[in-house]
Structure 1
Amino acid sequence: MAQVVGGYHAIALPLAHSAFKRYIYVKKHNVKENETVGGESQLVADRTVYVVNLPAHADEHWLRACLEPAVGSIQHVVNAKTAGTSNSNSNGNSSGGAQDPLMAKTAHVVFKSKDAVKKVLQVKQLAMSDNEAPATGLQAYLNKYRANKPGLAAVKAIADKYMAQFDADEEEDFRKREELKAQVDDDGFKMVVNTKKRTQAAADDLGRPAKKQKSKEMDNFYRFQMRERKRDQLKSLRERFEEDRQMVEKLKLANKFKPE
């Protein structure tokens, strides 16, 4: 016997690698006058069902893959948010603008026959292939982490590929410079080309000791520099004189100072 909850028919969706099931809920949709546009409704009477509690990844392709093998062909799918506000062609595409590919967890499904509506209200479970549902929850975070952290082997492969491409570009650049070296211009002059490879030139620069930079400041160029230098010299002389005077005083106190 079909399970009915609040007027909705419950259909089980088995979860991959799990004993638990997810449920979607379906009921026959009654077309209202305010759902028509230009006198024509995109929700056909007696061939439309309203589906709720759809998975987050559900789109028209997912609904077709789940429902058509069990109940029959679908004419088009209408997002519940846009139902009655725009027309849909036979493929379910909105003529009034781009339709949201996700069904916002609710959708109107229009079948090609009335018998399909009867069947969908009697089916208890739908088969759902593993490749239809993307990873969610913890598994989705694990997949994202593993994609961002590919491991040492993958990083080494990427680095080796990059270095191989770099060496190939280096050889091609060196070959072109060798060809330019042998060329003579219209005035009879030979082209001067650096034939060293970039890696070799960089190594030479690293092995060469760095030159000591000369001070750009010129001494005794400005008057204030001369005044400061003289002031420093006088200060130094005063300090030395004071040190000598204190030493003489100490020697006098010790009776060791005997001036001639």
Structure 2
Amino acid sequence: MAASDQEHVPVTVQGFTVVPLKFSEDKPAHCLYLKEHSVRENDSSHPRNRTLFVLNVPPYCNEDCVKQLFTPCGKIVQVYLHDKPTSAAPPSGGSRYFPVGLTTPGFKVAYIVFKNALAVKHACKLSYETPLVLNSPEKTISSTGLHKWCRQYAARRVDVKELQAEIEDYMAKFDTKQEEETQRLKDQEGVADEEGWVTVTRVGKNKGTPRTEARKKHLTKRETKRRKEKELLNFYAFQFKETKKDQIATLRKKFEEDKQKISVMKAARKFKPY
């Protein structure tokens, strides 16, 4: 085999293709492990034959970095980054101040969805001898050092007007959702379900506290706890014994006092026929 052919032979470990990754040309290589993602059922977010599964993605790689690295293999439709392997797509929605789903900083797992299935085959044939380079003199994908710190500091700066607008929008959606839920409960009241059961009431005088089974259990638990706190006076065995001894001693003392009173009354009694 020629030397040029050996350079393009991929290195595989337990079914994963090993691809070196460098932050820049002068940095040490870091290995990515990738293979074709296979699922039993067809998933819209991770389509079969068009999804590349990548392990050991470093923390400095975001979606744009991953897309730039694997674009030479084919056109990329979507990149998903997860903390651990999963078949679900990352939660959508949210905003800068109210994100949906919190991620843990560290190494990630990537799912790269290509437009064509042939791109996954090309990615799995990447050579171990030709590492992927994230930053080069011609292109810079991920910032580092002072530029990175400045970008992170600017991202943490809060725009008061933007934050106020997002809060108002969030509260408006929350109020609408609460009104819809209240109206749904009112519509269900007094209406028989499929089995013939009728919901008499779902909301009490305090509209913020629905009369559910969980609420009833909570009240019962709180009342039981309050009753037990009152009964903790003689909780321990020695306390119960001491209380009994005190009660017996008090009864004996009172009995002796009553005996003395009866003796005095008998001695003071005299026979007076006239």
Give the shorter-chain TM-score range. 0.3 to 0.5
The higher-RCO structure (CA 8 Å, 6+ apart) is 2
TM-score (norm 1): 0.42
